[in-house]
Amino acid sequence: MTNAMIIMIESVKLMEDGVIKGSGIKGKTSDGKIVELPEVIHTYAVWKSLGYQVKKGEKAVAQFPIWKYVKGKKTDESEEVDGEKNNGYCRMVTASFFTKEQVEKIKEEAKC
C-alpha cells in the first residue's frame, strides 16, 4: 500500500470520527458512491516543503505509520534495479500529521 493510500484511509477515519473536517469536495468511491473528501493533512516536512510552518504549540491531529525511504551505505556491490543501483530500502515509521489550520505561510525576509 502506498503512502497516499494510507493517508487517505486514515484521513477518512479521522473525518468520520470528527477529528478533522470535510474539504467540501466530492469524490466517487470504487463502487460509484459519492462521498465528501476529508481536509488535507500533511507531515511537518511536507508542509515545510510547501512553504508553511506549523504554528507554535500546535499538536498533531494524528500519528500513524507510513513508508519512509532510507538511503543505504554506498558500495560497489549494490543491487541494480531497472539499470540503477539500489542503495536504500523502505521501512515503516510513525509520522505526525497537521491540518491547514495548524500552519502559517513562512514569511520571506526582505533582501537588500
Q: What are phi and psi of 107, to 5 degrees?
A: -80, 130
pLDDT at 112 over 90: no
Q: Which residues pair with 36 in a beta bridge?
A: 26
Helix (H, G, I), strand (E, B) or coil at 65: strand
**Between residues 59 and 88, which one has the greater pLDDT?**
59
Q: What is the mean pLDDT of residues 6-30?
A: 92
Length of the chain (residues): 112
pLDDT at 47 over 90: yes
Q: Alpha-carbon Rg of the chain, whole angstroms?
A: 18
pTM over 0.85: no
